[in-house]
Each structure stands twice: as structure tokens, then as C-alpha cells.
Structure 1
Amino acid sequence: MLADDSYSTTSTNVELACIPDDTTGLERIMLAAQGDLQRLMSSYFGRPIFIELIYAHCSSRLTPASPENPITQSRQVHLVCASCTVCIATSTVTITSPQCERLFLDEKFPIGQTFRRLNRTPKFSLLNVETKAINGKRELRRTYKLETEGFVAEILEVFPDRDMFVRGEAWLMERGANLDTTCTIATDKKPEWLSVRKGNVVH
């Protein structure tokens, strides 16, 4: 596990292992986000962050969700601020309770807001962090898992340009002035680990 979150009566300590050496403090905050990334990014940019659904493929719902009859969904959303995509989140969700099924599939709360509506703090596991250079932009990626009773999500998040965490408002304005520049990555191809399988195991 790449993230260790510990606390006592007098201290709190968050340790992130195996992250790039040049990771900034602000990037570490985003990498450690536990279902509240949209809220943190709204605080950072000082603007609303909107969820744009790209696709959502759900297994059949013949019976209410349960451990014996889990419902799975593969989905991708873009987190959009000032008309620019600031994060691409591709996930597999496994639902095993009727309450979570109602919130997520019927009322259509995003993953983070589903945990907030449940009034639960999910178990957080950071699985991988990497950086890549794509079309002249420095991407930051993380793969992680959020778990609570009845609801599990494994998520790949891509921040398409690390300069957003350095330049903030100026970065948004530059992208907003030229929407033809590359603010997003391809959205149609699902990562191999996001294949939906039967049962209650998320891969």
C-alpha cells in the first residue's frame, strides 16, 4: 500500500510511498484525496467543478444489489472547471447493497458524493502513482481503491497537465482562451484492468 494514514490523540501523519521525486505539496494533497477530489479541486481553483459523464456501462439489475448478486458498472467522467477538463476518472464500481444501488444508480450521485450521502469515510488504498509526458504535457496519474460496506470503487485518475498545480488561475485562463489545445486525453479506450467481471471482485 502506497499511502499510510495514521493518527493519535496529538498527531496525524500521512505518508505517501513510491511517488515521483518532484511531486509538489499540492500534488501530494490530490494524490491522498479519499473520495473528495472534486471538493479539493474546487477549493484550489475557487470555482465549481462539474462532473461530465463520458460513459457508464452497467451489468443487469434483475434483482436488488447484494453480496450474492452484485451490480457492477464501468464508467468514465471528466472533472471540468471553466470549460477545461482538469481530471479524467475511469473506474469500476461494485455495489452489493440496495441503499448504495439507489444512491449511485437511481439518484446518480457521483462516487465521492455517494460516500458523503452514506455519511461514511471509505477505506482508501493508493495502488499506483506515475507521471508521463503526453503531447508535450506532463501527466500525473494515480490508481486507488475506495471501499465501504456495500460499495467498492477502483479508480484511475489522470491529471492531464501538472502545470495546473503550479499556475492555477493562469492555467485555466490560458486553456479557456484556446479550447482547441489538448486539455483531455482519449476517452473511448478502457484500461485493461477495468474489465467488468461477475462476482464481488474488482480487478
Structure 2
Amino acid sequence: MLANDSYSAASTNVELTCVPDDTTGLERIMLAAQGDLQRLLSSFFGRPIFIELIYAHCSPRLTPASSDNPITQSREVHLVCESCTVCVATSTVTITSPQCERLFLDEKFPIGQTFRRLNRTPKFSLLNVETQAIDGKRELRRTYKLETEGFVAEILEVFPDRDMFVRGETWLMERRANLDTTCTTTATDTIPEWLSVCKGNAVH
């Protein structure tokens, strides 16, 4: 186990092992997040973090979830702030409780909020941490597991650019400006002015 969380009446100790030598204090906080990453990112950026569902593939729901009839779902979500993706999370969820099935599959609560609605602190296991350079940006990624009775999630999270933890709001505003510029350029390139057709008050 790469994370050891221990406490006594007088102290608390969170020990992360086998993480990159250049990991910053803020990155260590994110790596130790236990189902509350969305909340931490919102605190860091001072803005809402939205969940954008990319896909969710669920096994058949023929009977209520139970130990004998588990329901599984593979899914990918993006954590988005100011239209910028700050984390990509790919997960496999196993559900063996009707209550967890209702919260997660029917009421559509994300993984972290499902634990909050259950009012439970999940068991946390950090399985892997690594960094790599992609297209000139430094990625930080972790694989971990969250477990409680009736609900288990194994998750791979990718933070696409470690500079966001160094530059914060400045990084976010630059990314947002780049997105706005790209969208404007793409829209102009896609629909040349001479191809626009007026229909009523709308231009198509």
C-alpha cells in the first residue's frame, strides 16, 4: 500500500511512499484525496468543479444489486473548471447494495458524492502513482481504490498538466483564453461567411 493514514489521540500521520521525488505538498494532498477530490479542486481554484460524463457502460440490471448479483459499471468522467479539464477519471465500480444502486445509478450521484450521501468514509488504498510528459505537459496520475459495504470503485485519475498546481488561477485563465481562441478559430474555419444561410432571425 502506497498510503498509510494513522492517528492517535494526539497526532495524525499521512505517509505516502513511492511518489515522485519532485511531488509538491499540494500534489500530495490531491494524491491522498479519499473521494473528495472534486471538493479539494473547488477549494484550490475557488470555483465550481463540474462532472462531465464521457461514457458509462453498465452490466444488466435484472435484479437488485446484491453480493450474489453484483452490478458493475465502467465509466469516464472529466472534472471541469471554467470549461477546462483539470482531471480525467476512468473507473470501474462494483455495486452489491440496493441503496448504493439507487444513489449511483438512479439518482446519478458521482462516486465521491455517493459516499457523502451514504455518510460513510470509504477505505482508501493508493495503488500507483506516476508522472510522464505528454505533448510537452507533465502529467500526474494515480490509481486507487475506495471501498465501503456495497460499493467499491477502482479509479485511474490523470491530472493533465502539473503546472496547474503551481500557477493556479493564472494557469486556469490562460487555458480558458486558449480554449476561447481555438473555438472562435474553429467556428470561423468550419462555417465560412459565404456559406452562411439566413433563416428567419438565425444564421445556420
Question: Given the alignment of the two structures, is residue 118 of structure 1 paired with residue 118 of structure 2, yes or no?
Answer: yes
Alignment of 1:7-86 (within 5 A): 7-86=7-86
Q: For residues 80 and 43 of structure 1, what CA distance do their matches in structure 2 show?
A: 14
Q: Residue 153 of structure 1: CA displacement?
A: 0.1
Deviations 1:148-192 (A, max 9, x none): 0000000000000000000000000000001149xxxxxxxxxxx
Q: For residues 21 and 41 of structure 2, what CA distance do their matches in structure 1 show?
A: 22
Deviations 1:54-109 (A, max 9, x none): 00000000000000000000000000001100000000000000000000000000
- Say what the alpha-carbon RMSD is for the aligned residues: 0.8
Greater relative contact order, per chain length (Cα 8 Å cut-off, separation 6+) = 1
Question: Given the alignment of the two structures, is residue 4 of structure 1 paired with residue 1 of structure 2, yes or no?
Answer: no
Aligned to 1:190: none
Q: Residue 136 of structure 1: CA displacement?
A: 0.2
Q: Residue 114 of structure 1: CA displacement?
A: 0.0
> Gaps (5+ residues) in structure 2?
184-204
**One-letter code aligned to 2:142:** R
Alignment of 1:73-112 (within 5 A): 73-112=73-112
**One-letter code aligned to 2:48:** P
- Rg comparison, structure with higher value: 2
Deviations 1:118-171 (A, max 9, x none): 000000000000001000000000000000000000000000000000000000
**One-letter code aligned to 2:171:** W
**One-letter code aligned to 1:148:** T
**One-letter code aligned to 1:172:** L
Q: For residues 99 and 87 of structure 1, what CA distance do their matches in structure 2 show?
A: 28
Q: For residues 178 and 11 of structure 2, what CA distance do their matches in structure 1 show?
A: 45
Equivalenced residue count is 181
| Higher share in helix | 2
Q: Deviation above 4 Å: which 4+ runs of structure 1?
A: none
Alignment of 1:126-145 (within 5 A): 126-145=126-145
Q: Normalised by the size of structure 2, how large is the TM-score?
A: 0.88
